Amino acid sequence: MLSPFVEEFFRNPATVGSLTPSSPALTGKVMEPIDFATASCIVEYGPGTGVFTDALMSRRRPETVLVLVEANRRFAQLLRQRYAGHAGVHVVHGSADKTGQYLQELGVGQVDYVVCGLPFSSLPRRLGWRILEHTAQILGPEGKLILFQYSLQNKRLFERFFRPLQEEHVLLNLPPAYVLTYVPTPPGKV
């Protein structure tokens, strides 16, 4: 029997991005830029089956709000079941380019970190653009966008909205992945 992750990959590879869940090495690199002692709100785009979410859950302070935005209905249902009863964890079935609306409905203000594994290479270009533009608006001035991608082909797109801070290549993952950390570009510099 196939895992839900593998089933959803075959059903819609454009939104799942990889046939295998992320490795501990990749998860560790994605968590590195996050200051869990000060983070009050972390948003995760496309949490899938919750590999990164589990790492966020184990490291966050109890008062840190975690908002999971998942476009895949089945994954959203699985995440709701898994994290039911955890205070401050909100699972939203929806699109990352509408996160501001979801945050407003939840009464959440500024976002400190956005963790994103969305496969920008297979997303419609216009949607990718809207997600990045929107993310730049919801992140606080000191906020960070942490992306993991399987290629660097969209770096120019990312850098239209964000200033690069760090780039790591994680070989201990199938397929090898890049972890890109960005900060918002100051207003008027886009």
- The CA distances from residue 137 to 68, 95, 113, 117, 148, in Å, are 18, 15, 12, 19, 20
Which pLDDT value is given to residue 109? 86
Question: Which residues, 6+ apart, have CB-to-CB distance to 12 below 8 Å?
Answer: 72
What's the chain's average pLDDT? 89
Helix ranges, the chain (H) = 4-11, 13-16, 24-31, 51-59, 73-83, 99-106, 125-138, 155-161
Which pLDDT value is given to residue 21? 73
In percent, the amount of the chain with pLDDT more than 70 equals 87
What's the average model confidence in pLDDT over 146-174? Answer: 96
Q: Which of 21-25, 69-73, 110-114, 154-158 shows the lowest per-residue confidence on average (mean pLDDT)?
A: 21-25
CA 17 to chain centre: 13
Nearest to 17 by CA among 170, 172, 148: 148
- The CA distances from residue 111 to 3, 14, 25, in Å, are 32, 27, 25
Which pLDDT value is given to residue 186? 76
pLDDT > 60? residue 2: no
Burial annotation 40-59 (CB, 10 A radius, 16+ → b, else e): bbbbbbbbbbbbbbebbeee
- The CA distances from residue 106 to 33, 44, 48, 83, 101, in Å, are 25, 15, 21, 17, 9
Residue 16's Cβ-count burial label (10 Å; 0-12, 13-18, 19+) is: buried
Helix orientation angle between 24-31 and 51-59, rounded to the nearest 10 degrees: 50
pLDDT > 50? residue 11: no
As given in the structure block, the two tokens for residue 6 are 């593998």
What's the average model confidence in pLDDT over 89-103? Answer: 97
Distance between CA atoms of residues 64 and 43, nearest Å = 11
As given in the structure block, the two tokens for residue 106 are 């939840």
More confident: 94 or 8: 94
